[in-house]
Amino acid sequence: MTNLNRFILHLCSFNCLTKIIAYMLISQSTGKFLKRKSKFNIGNEEIDLTIPIVMGIVNVTPDSFYDGGKMEDENVLLASVENMIEDGVSILDIGGVSTKPGSQMVSTKTELERLIPAVQAIRSHFPGVPISIDTFRPWVAVQIIDEIGPVMVNDISGGSLDSKMFETIGRLKVPYVLCHIQGTPATMQDEPQYEDVVKEVSNYFSERVKRLTKFGVEDIVIDPGFGFGKNLDHNYELLNRLDSFKVFQLPVLVGMSRKSMIWKALEITPETSLNGTTVANTLALMGGADILRVHDVKEAVEAVKLFCEIKATIKK
């Protein structure tokens, strides 16, 4: 390591802006540090992020804000998943606990009772489709992996709701989505406060990515957590400055599908917010998003295709 790189690494111990400058200098000065991974595996299935991909939301909960209760019937669940696959989904994200604002947590037992039959049915009927589990509980991740094999773990709490999560992910050797949240689902929208939302989210990622790597976690995806402890202005500031998170050289996931940041701004309802979601997703792609987490796969896949067409003309 050169003296320049030692100096740059020393800078990383200071504030967020200095860290970002340091990370940029490292990557520019050697090309060896912070090399972005464009591929990772969920079990035997390769996830290729050389172009953005779409993650389909599968909620097996009775109280999710948009599709609560729709997937409780196995036939409906499998038909919905089949449609997503036909529409071009790359990963299915299955959740057994509603994390909408104000929601109350259910027990681990209830979460597993919802998840296990769903993931077993999906894996049985569609064995080649990569699966992500939307959970903040390490024990749930362990149980699901014991039942069906490797999955990605999508943790909306970023490890804040269970201190054993990072250690467990390191032991399981599975990909992990690190989401930013302020507060808990029950309290997160009670007047969230930031001096600089992008800076504070960046600090959050910096600290937690360091901890994850200490536990041996290799495949990390970062999610700025739209709607998780942010008001309307915070959400749009994050969207406007999404490219700030490229400095981490990690895949970026965004989940804005039919959320209140869209339907409140447009003064409509979640049911009528698909057009707004597509616009927001397109802006996210322009800001460097790698994974779009959505309810409506077809429209998101089409947005990705058009974005790639535009990007190809720019390169020419």
Residues catalogued as catalytic: 259, 293
User: How long a stretch of residues is the chain?
Assistant: 316
Residue 63 tokens read as 């109280």
Residue with tokens 């779009």: 292
- CA distances 67 to 72, 227, 254, 271, 272, Å, are 10, 17, 19, 9, 13
Torsion angle, CA of 287/293/296/299, rounded to 10 degrees?
Answer: 30
Residue with tokens 């994390």: 99
CB 257 within 8 A of CB 297: no
- CA distances 43 to 46, 131, 187, Å, are 8, 9, 35
Which residues touch 163 (CB under 8 Å, ≥6 apart)? none
* Euclidean distance between CA atoms 40 and 43, whole angstroms: 9
Give the DSSP letter string of 222-286.
EE--TTSS--HHHHHHHHHTGGGGGGG-S-BEE--TT-HHHHHHHT--GGG-HHHHHHHHHHHHH
